[in-house]
């Protein structure tokens, strides 16, 4: 099992290092046969090669079983013509990692930001290759432009192909969970684009009669996430809606730092923490690596499904149990959760619990 490790920016190298301690322990326990290669992206690559993502690195990634990608400070990158390439966007579009899978769940032993008595256990399936993102919705050029100094326009792209395949992944996941999919849209305003998305989801639903489908306006869904999160199982959404709702759901469940995330396609999967690069705490051993650790577990789960093998799946479950066991002990938490541990110490704590 060959994995490409790209630590990237900010706290990325720290949380990736902690996650690799856990992964190496899982490799020893479950005999995964993992081989890790490292490369530079982000500011390290920019300073050395003049670009945040070399084309050779992008193409090299195709030859691996999976990718572990650290956090990126892409808001601070220079413009694309000066080498500031959005790494996540390039991976999603060029490697066709179209499904951004973002779970969010509460834990009884940790405080959440929900009302007392409320709980959450859901997964947001976010389509990641099109939508209102100007760097990924045109074959050539940029999807956002200014005809005059006082006018800015943006082009949105929704295709039946992309909508159907993210819907299919959502229904397949729902079959493994509570068999309920909610399609998120704004078809009352975006009649054609969200209308097409909704039409595609309903077409896919016909092939999954065991799964209940409902749909909800994106603005109403934010209210339901706060008021009645138990109603949700799997949510399927286009790019922008999924991006916003997943941050909301994770923060409501307790913290952006507590949920894993992968970018997956049909042939490749990339583990990537849900949160940002937090440069204000970079190098201080204060980061919480939980999201990165759980993202690596999700990558192992994806590999298990793709290969039809038990060992990666067992390792993924063991890592998830170890994370919960560490978090359940107040003395085993990171400082952002009022615990005593730094980033690497938490990774070592989780690793010791894998078995």
Taken in order of first residue, the domains within the chain and their CATH numbers are 1-101+263-355 (3.40.718.10), 112-253 (3.40.718.10)
Active site residue 48: no
Burial (Cβ within 10 Å: 0-12, 13-18, ≥19) of residue 121? middle
What pLDDT, in 10s, does the model give residues 238-261? 999 999 999 999 999 999 899 999
Based on the residue annotation, tell me whether 324 is a catalytic residue of this protein: no
CA 238 to chain centroid, in Å, comes to 14
Residue in 70, 86, 77, 73 with CA at minimum distance from that of residue 274: 70
- Per the CB < 8 A criterion, the answer to whether 102 and 127 are in contact is no
329 catalytically annotated? no
Catalytic residue among 37, 214, 219, 329: 219
Query: Of residues 39, 96, 247, 324, which has the active-site annotation?
Result: 247
- For the chain, where are the E strands, in sequence order? 2-6, 35-38, 66-69, 99-105, 121-127, 144-148, 151-154, 180-185, 212-217, 234-237, 262-264, 269-272
In tens digits, the chain (355 residues) has pLDDT values of 999 999 999 999 999 999 999 999 999 999 999 999 999 999 999 999 999 999 999 999 999 999 999 999 988 999 988 999 999 999 999 999 999 999 999 999 999 999 999 999 999 999 999 999 888 888 888 889 999 999 999 999 999 999 999 999 999 999 999 999 999 999 999 999 999 999 999 999 999 999 999 999 999 999 999 999 999 999 999 999 999 999 999 999 999 899 999 999 999 999 999 999 999 999 999 999 999 999 999 999 999 999 889 999 999 999 999 999 999 999 999 999 999 999 999 999 999 999 8
Going by the DSSP 8-state scheme, the letter that residue 276 receives in this structure is -
Q: Is 27 a catalytic residue?
A: no
The yes-or-no answer on residue 64 being catalytic is no
| Active-site position among 64, 133, 157, 241 | 133
Active-site position among 186, 194, 233, 241: 186
């Amino acid at each position: 099992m060959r994995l490409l490790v790209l630590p990237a920016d900010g706290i990325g190298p720290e949380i990736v290092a902690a996650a690799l301690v856990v992964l190496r322990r899982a490799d020893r326990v479950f005999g995964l046969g993992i081989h890790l290669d490292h490369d530079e992206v982000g500011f390290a690559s920019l300073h050395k090669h003049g670009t945040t993502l070399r084309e050779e690195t992008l193409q090299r990634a195709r030859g691996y079983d999976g990718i572990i990608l650290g956090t990126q400070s892409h808001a601070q990158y220079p413009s694309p013509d000066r080498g500031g390439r959005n790494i996540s966007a390039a991976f999603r579009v060029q490697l066709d990692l179209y499904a951004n899978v973002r779970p969010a769940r509460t834990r009884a032993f940790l405080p959440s930001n929900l009302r007392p008595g409320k709980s959450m256990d859901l997964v947001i399936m976010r389509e990641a290759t099109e939508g209102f993102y100007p760097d990924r919705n045109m074959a050539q050029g940029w999807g956002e432009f200014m005809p005059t100094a006082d006018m800015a326009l943006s082009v949105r792209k929704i295709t039946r192909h992309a909508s159907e395949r993210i819907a299919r992944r959502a229904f397949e996941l729902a079959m493994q969970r509570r068999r309920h999919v909610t399609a998120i849209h704004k078809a009352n305003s975006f009649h054609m684009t969200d209308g097409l998305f909704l039409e595609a989801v309903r077409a896919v639903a016909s092939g999954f009669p065991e799964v209940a489908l409902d749909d909800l306006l994106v603005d109403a869904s934010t209210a339901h996430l706060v008021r009645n999160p138990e109603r949700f199982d799997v949510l399927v959404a286009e790019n922008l809606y999924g991006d916003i709702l997943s941050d909301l759901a994770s923060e409501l469940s307790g913290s952006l730092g507590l949920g894993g995330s992968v970018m997956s396609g049909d042939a490749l999967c990339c583990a990537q923490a849900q949160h940002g690069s937090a440069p204000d705490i970079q190098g201080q051993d204060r980061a919480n690596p939980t999201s990165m650790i759980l993202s690596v577990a999700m990558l192992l789960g994806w590999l298990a499904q793709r290969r039809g093998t038990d060992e990666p799946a067992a390792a993924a479950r063991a890592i998830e149990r170890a994370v919960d066991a560490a978090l359940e002990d107040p003395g085993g938490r990171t400082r952002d959760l009022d615990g005593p541990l730094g980033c690497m110490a938490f990774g070592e704590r989780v690793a010791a619990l894998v078995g």
